[in-house]
């Protein structure tokens, strides 16, 4: 009988020990979670970012982008943002994330088509000049004058001498931009060959994305090493103190958007612009009687 009681006592002590240990582990985990939440930490950089976390962080950044916009308008700042990268690197999605909640009258996106026959006879870069920002504007380039260092050079739309001359001249051109008061930011979105293949393949059968897969994309697909060489020579020639390149890893589309916007906000000095408190005025309704008209309403299928 005594032995049975001893065994029961030992079993109870082990059970209490396990419960205590589990409680401590749970307590530590909860404490860590609370600490991260209280500190307002960004989502963990490892693993896939959930849509909920992405939406939460993007909302915070959008609020700051609007603050920056209002400061740019109030102070007459001029901001020029260049996005470059391989096909499928995520430039378009990142630009959309930036412009989603700001005014299109302040943020202008420029994505020029192939040059016309007339533009081909102009000084290179001439067609880009009219689009540079004036006071109170942000101009975002979805590909830019750097076409000459990339696609034009690789695909043979310019001579090797023209490409080299461009790389020699463009740092001075960008220095003139900066000296004129333009805040110039240049982003290169870096994607792996495997991820690029996955994204381009996904466009083939997706009716929403098929327009993104151009004949030029298909021709460029087998020129990975040529584009790598062109990119490296571009960085060496144009990564200057006054207009540096910022490289953003874009394997994860959600993370690269958050990272670029966060970085962008740190590059443009801004504060909360003075703003009068908004209050809707009183209004009177009923002074005019609407006509009895047979309006053509849009069918409500949804």
Structure confidence by residue, pLDDT tens digits, 3-31: 445 544 444 444 444 444 444 444 433 33
The model's pLDDT over 266-302, given as tens digits with 9 standing for 90+, comes to: 999 999 999 889 999 999 999 999 999 999 999 999 9
Tell me, yes or no, whether 251 lies in a domain.
yes
Average pLDDT, the chain: 88
Residue 163 domain-assigned?
A: yes
Write out the E strands in the chain: 78-85, 107-110, 137-142, 182-190, 245-249
Per the CB < 8 A criterion, the answer to whether 139 and 79 are in contact is yes
Q: Is 44 inside a domain boundary?
A: no
Give 158's contacts (C-beta < 8 A, 6+ positions apart): 148, 152, 166
Domain boundaries, position 187: 54-267
CATH number at residue 110: 3.40.50.300
What's the number of domains the chain is made of?
A: 1
Q: Give me 124's structure tokens.
A: 């290179």
Predicted model pTM? 0.82
Determine, yes or no, domain membership for 93.
Answer: yes
21 falls within a domain = no
Dist. CA 22–CA 56, nearest whole Å: 32
Residue 280 lies in a domain: no
How many whole angstroms separate alpha carbon 107 and alpha carbon 261? 14
Task: Output DSSP code: residue 229.
Answer: H
Cα atoms in the 13 Å half-sphere on the side-chain side of 272: 3
**Residue 159 belongs to some domain of the structure:** yes
């Amino acid at each position: 009988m005594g032995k049975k009681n001893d065994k029961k006592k030992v079993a109870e002590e082990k059970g209490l020990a396990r419960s205590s240990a589990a409680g401590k582990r749970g307590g530590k985990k909860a404490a860590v979670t609370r600490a991260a939440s209280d500190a307002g930490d960004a989502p963990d950089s490892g693993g896939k970012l959930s849509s909920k976390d992405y939406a939460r962080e993007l909302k915070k950044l959008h609020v700051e982008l609007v603050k920056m916009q209002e400061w740019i308008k109030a102070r007459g700042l001029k901001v020029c943002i260049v996005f470059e990268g391989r096909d499928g690197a995520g430039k378009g999605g990142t630009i959309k994330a930036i412009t989603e909640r700001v005014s299109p009258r302040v943020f202008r996106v420029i994505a020029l088509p192939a040059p016309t026959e007339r533009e081909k006879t102009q000084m290179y870069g001439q067609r880009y000049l009219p689009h540079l920002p004036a006071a109170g504007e942000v101009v975002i380039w979805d590909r830019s004058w750097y076409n000459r260092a990339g696609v034009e050079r690789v695909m043979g739309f310019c001579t090797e001498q023209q490409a080299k001359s461009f790389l020699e001249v463009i740092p001075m051109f960008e220095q003139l931009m900066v000296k004129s008061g333009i805040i110039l930011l240049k982003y290169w979105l870096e994607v792996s060959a495997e991820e690029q293949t996955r994204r381009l393949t996904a466009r083939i059968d997706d009716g929403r994305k098929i327009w993104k897969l151009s004949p030029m994309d298909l021709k460029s697909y087998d020129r990975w090493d040529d584009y790598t060489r062109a990119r490296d020579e571009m960085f060496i020639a144009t990564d200057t103190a006054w207009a540096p390149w910022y490289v953003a890893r874009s394997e994860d589309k959600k993370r690269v958007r958050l990272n670029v916007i966060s970085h962008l906000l740190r590059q443009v000095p801004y504060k909360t612009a003075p703003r009068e408190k908004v209050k809707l005025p009183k209004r009177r309704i009923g002074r005019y009687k609407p006509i009895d008209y047979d309006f053509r309403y849009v069918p409500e299928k949804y």
